Amino acid sequence: MSTSSYAHPEVLVETSWLADHLQEPNTRIVESNEDILLYDTGHIPGAVHIDWRADLQDQLVRDYITPDKFAALCGRNGITPATTCIFYGDKSNWWSCYALWAFRLFGHTKVKVLNGGRDKWIKEGRAITREKPSIQPATYPVPAKRLDAEIRAFYEEALAFSKSGKPLIDVRSPGEFKGTITHMPEYPQEGVLRGGHIPGAKGVPWKLAVNEDGSFKSVTELKKIYEEDCSLSPEKETVVYCRIGERSSHTWFALTYLLGHKKVRNYDGSWTEWGNKVGAPIERSS
């Protein structure tokens, strides 16, 4: 499928291209999965593993790591601000998009996604290895700040969007959106006390954006889903959310990079915050 009609086609890397460019200069392949054990069972040659929970999140406060810890993480993985990071992983790239979004949170601009992710690469019979790459440590300057105000939304902002009728996109499964279940199908209950969705939000499951092989749908199909059916505008603000921000990072990527929407923010507190917060308004649908 041609990606030339996307707003930023350069952010998608096809498996065929990557197979021929595993030693591309100033590039680091980054695997990030929901299943943190997958990397050790076999990964793309040269890829490093970044654990979305252990590496990118604070281990005490529910928040992301500080800028100095991000700089240290990049440095030990041989990443500098000039390094292009190609992210891939399981679950049709949920978690790799989450890692990419976190890198953008710290201002790292040179980011790409392997279209179709880990599953597509393996199904095509491409090379995998258990050998971990030998990485030359690099120096990454400490970012001046996280871009919390630019690409991240917090509870109060999501609430304001709800009250004012601004675009809120809930990318969870239909059952989660309706409130009939409080977790993803086939997943354990994760401690959310109330089911439903943020009042005024539209339910647009993340999976609508991808094909059967996990690759992204065409720009025409994406525009139909988000701009025609949901009335989203490239120039207007949109807040996306899910359970902890991983599925909504996937939708954030599609809206921001493939459709060129300029003001998309990810509410990473998502339903595990909203569904447990005292006094948070909840809507349910049949």
Furthest-apart CA atoms within the chain: distance in Å:
55
The CA R_g of the chain, rounded to the nearest whole Å, is 18
Q: How far apart are CA 24 and CA 44, in angstroms?
A: 13
Q: Which two tokens stand for residue 38?
A: 């997958």
DSSP codes, 239-283: EEE-SSSHHHHHHHHIIIIIS--S-EEEETTHHHHHTTSTT---B
Buried-exposed string 163-175: b where 16+ CB fall within 10 A, e elsewhere: eeeebbbbbbbee
The partner residues of 55 in beta bridges, in order of sequence, read: none
Query: At residue 71, what is the residue type?
Result: A
Q: How far apart are CA 112 and CA 6, in angstroms?
A: 14
Catalytic residues: 242
Q: How far apart are CA 256 and CA 174, in angstroms?
A: 23
Q: Which two tokens stand for residue 143?
A: 């970012």
- From the list 26, 139, 23, the residue with the least C-alpha distance to 83 is 26
